[in-house]
Chains A and B, each alone.
Chain A
Amino acid sequence: MKYFWAFTALMLLLSVLADRQKTLRALEIALRRFLSILPAFLEMIVLVSVVLALVPPRLLLGLLGGEGRVLGMGIAAVVGSVTVMPGFIAFPLCGILLKRGVPYMVLSAFSTTLMMVGVLSYPVEREYFGPKVTVLRNLLAFLIALAVAVATGLAFREL
């Protein structure tokens, strides 16, 4: 993250050196866009904070670890779609589940929907793409994630 800030600062500096007027306009655009999307981001953070409290990692361990392969895959895909988790929590969690004997295809369904399908990011995505396209895009992403999970099951001889 330090590098990201450094990179942005460097770009900004180069821009100022090249053209002050343009840089000022860039900052104006940045501020205007940021402020106009801020309420949607806040709404997303509100939703995420509630859902994460309802579905703590302990519960996830139970939800993903309990069922058989195919049902487990379905549950994992739904859970992954409606939760949000940074990778540095999700993948170690998957690592723990794997050691406990949870099939690869269940973990694949969970981690792939977690990344690709965003029910909670709907407020933000809708502002950019509109409601219909947001739903359509997430539906397609869900189907792709299921295909990945099935392929993973085949690759690890779980199906």
Chain B
Amino acid sequence: MSRRRLALFLLYGGFLLWGFIKRFGPSVEVARNFWTFSAQMVMILPCAFVLIGLFEVWVKKEAVEKHLGRGSGPLGYLWAVLLAATTVGGIYVAFPVAHSLYRKGAKLGVIFTYVGASAICRIPMTVFEASFLGVKFTAVRFLVSLPLLVLASALLGHYLERKGYRMPG
């Protein structure tokens, strides 16, 4: 763990402890948020990483390369969106999955599309959104954001691939 991170955690822990002793309201609020958010992560991350592990050992590199890699064409982007639509947990889960896809040979444009789409087109969330803000609102968001996302991802992917970018790790 980096020094900066360790310092941050110690400072944070100290703040919470001090807050509990002094009964400082905001500290308690922060602790409650920490608890709620961690609980959410604990519900999702273990399963997500187990599935990533299974993906790593069972799915062949050639299969990913063929459908999501350089030769995949527009269909690769479609798969990315469909995969994202069914990703549980949203963008936090999408990052490690994206990394796994990259190691298996998916191209960058498809990967960025997947990550972005996991933020904007997950099915349960979309249904929820439409029920509070109306179908028209959701439809406009979809029609504008999805093409722009694919376009931006493809351009970013091309640009980075030309520059010889490699994902860390």
Which positions in A face B, CB cutoff 8 Å? 1, 4-5, 7-8, 11-12, 15, 22-23, 25-31, 33-34, 37, 39, 41-46, 48-50, 52-53, 56, 84, 86-88, 91-92, 94-95, 98, 104, 107-108, 111-112, 115-116, 118, 121, 124-125, 127-130, 133, 136-137, 140-141, 143-145, 147-148, 151-152, 155-156
Contacts and interface: CB of A to CB of B under 8 A. Distances in A.
A48 B31 CA distance: 11
What secondary structure prevails in chain A residues at the interface with B?
helix
Contacts, number: 189
A112 B141 contact: yes
Given A95-B133, A118-B91, A130 B53 contact: no
B49 interface: yes
B94 to A, nearest CB: 10
B20 interface: no
A30 B96 CA distance: 11
Contacts of B125: 87, 115
B47 A4 contact: yes
B45 A116 contact: no
A26 to B, nearest CB: 4
Interface in B88-120: 88, 90-92, 95-96, 98-99, 112, 115-116, 119-120
A15 B92 contact: no
Contact of B34 (A45, A94, A112): A45
